């Protein structure tokens, strides 16, 4: 099977995508798949290369584009003034953040007519925008944090805020641009930080509870769940990918798999994760992050439609704890991409 694997991208999560792709490369069954590694530079150039090494741009790369022409059904590769086409059977977009998880890449793949791993255009866009995620999930009767959106020209009524609050970009990931705000004096600076990543900003109530995650794999009604995980914090808030050396661990948190919660809470978290996944129309895979509150209720935190696949990432760790290796996980993701879609 000719499998196009796209990595890199123009978002702030470019380095995380590279690490995820390296783990995919190390665990891909090359007797089953012929990989075509498609790297996107931070400036947006597309290159067909040998693989996702740290210095991949300095290797044997050729300019290439994914054709939106469905009759091509794959790549157009340019080499010394000539072009050639490579027909792809499926695409694995190992991309995080804007222009990777927000529906843009999914739209291109839909135009190209190539089956691809992960959520479709609509669910990708919904999950990328936290305010839309909360609105849809709340409409399905599932608890979400209280939140306010702030656009560039909009002023927030400060009287309605109860501190502490979190200020975050509405459409970003991996806690880039997120601040915990203790009082009104810190709010302006936090808004400025968030606006470095998105013009639309979310102000969200601080939820008291334990953060738990659920790895979901599947389409429509046939869902498989990994073991739940739990974030243990010593101080501050969970800042995945923000450490200088995340492979060696975090300075303020540890991730426990399986989560140290009661059987009743475990069942409720799993049930809620599936309900959220379906309410948002997710397909293929997603990591659903939630809060387990002290009174036993479960509240949504966020949904990642292509969670990290790095050596320290939560999703593959939860799946491994459920007996699914990364090699098998790749197989299952590709099989789900090739499965017929419900009409």
Query: Catalytic amino acids?
Result: 16, 19, 96, 241, 247, 287, 308, 312
- Reduced DSSP (H G I as helix, E B as strand, rest coil) percent helix, strand, coil of the chain, to 5: 30, 30, 40
Cis peptide before 258 (omega within 30 of 0): yes
HSE, side-chain direction, 13 A CA sphere, residue 44? 3
Three-class secondary structure of residue 116 per DSSP: strand
User: Could you tell me if 209 and 299 are in contact, meaning their C-beta atoms sit under 8 angstroms apart?
Assistant: yes
Buried b (16+ CB within 10 A) or exposed e, 304-313: bbbbbbbebb
Q: How far apart are the first and last CA of the chain?
A: 26
Alpha carbons 329 and 133: distance in angstroms, whole number: 26
CA proximity to 330, closest of 269, 263, 285: 285
Pairing of strands 2-8, 34-40: parallel
Cα–Cα distance list, 156 to 62, 85, 191 (Å): 49, 52, 11
Three-class secondary structure of residue 320 per DSSP: helix
Alpha carbons 24 and 326: distance in angstroms, whole number: 8
CA 306, 307, 309, 310 dihedral sign is positive
| Torsion angles phi and psi, residue 326, rounded to 5 | -65, -35
The radius of gyration of the chain's CA atoms, rounded to the nearest angstrom, is: 20
């Amino acid at each position: 099977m000719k499998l196009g694997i796209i990595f890199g991208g123009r978002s702030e999560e470019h380095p995380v995508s590279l690490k995820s792709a390296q783990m995919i490369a190390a665990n891909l069954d090359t007797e089953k798949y012929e990989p075509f590694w498609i790297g996107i530079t931070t400036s947006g150039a597309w290159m067909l290369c040998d693989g996702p090494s740290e210095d991949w741009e300095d290797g044997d790369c050729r300019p290439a584009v994914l054709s939106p022409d469905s009759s091509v059904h794959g790549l157009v590769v340019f080499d010394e003034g000539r072009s050639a086409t490579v027909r792809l059977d499926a695409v694995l977009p190992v991309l995080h953040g804007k222009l990777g998880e927000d529906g843009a890449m999914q739209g291109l793949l839909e135009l190209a007519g190539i089956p691809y791993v992960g959520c479709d255009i609509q669910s990708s866009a919904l999950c990328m925008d936290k305010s839309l995620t909360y609105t849809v999930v709340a409409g399905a009767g599932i608890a979400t944090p209280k939140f306010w959106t702030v656009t560039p020209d909009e002023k927030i009524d400060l009287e309605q805020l109860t501190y502490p609050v979190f200020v975050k970009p509405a459409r970003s990931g991996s806690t880039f641009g997120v601040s915990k705000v203790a009082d009104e004096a810190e709010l302006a600076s936090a808004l400025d930080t968030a606006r470095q990543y998105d013009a639309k900003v979310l102000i969200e109530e601080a939820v008291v509870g334990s953060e738990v995650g659920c790895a979901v794999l599947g389409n429509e009604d046939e869902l498989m769940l990994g073991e739940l995980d739990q974030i243990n914090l010593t101080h501050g808030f969970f800042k995945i990918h923000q450490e200088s050396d995340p492979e060696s661990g975090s300075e303020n948190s540890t991730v426990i798999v399986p989560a140290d919660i009661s059987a009743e809470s475990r069942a409720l978290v799993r049930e809620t994760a599936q309900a959220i996944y379906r309410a948002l129309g997710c397909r293929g895979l997603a990591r659903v992050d939630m809060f387990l509150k002290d009174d036993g209720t479960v509240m949504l935190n966020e949904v990642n439609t292509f969670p990290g696949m790095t050596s320290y990432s939560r999703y593959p760790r939860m799946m491994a704890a459920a007996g699914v290796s990364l090699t098998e996980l790749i197989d299952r993701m590709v099989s789900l991409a090739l499965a017929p879609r419900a009409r």
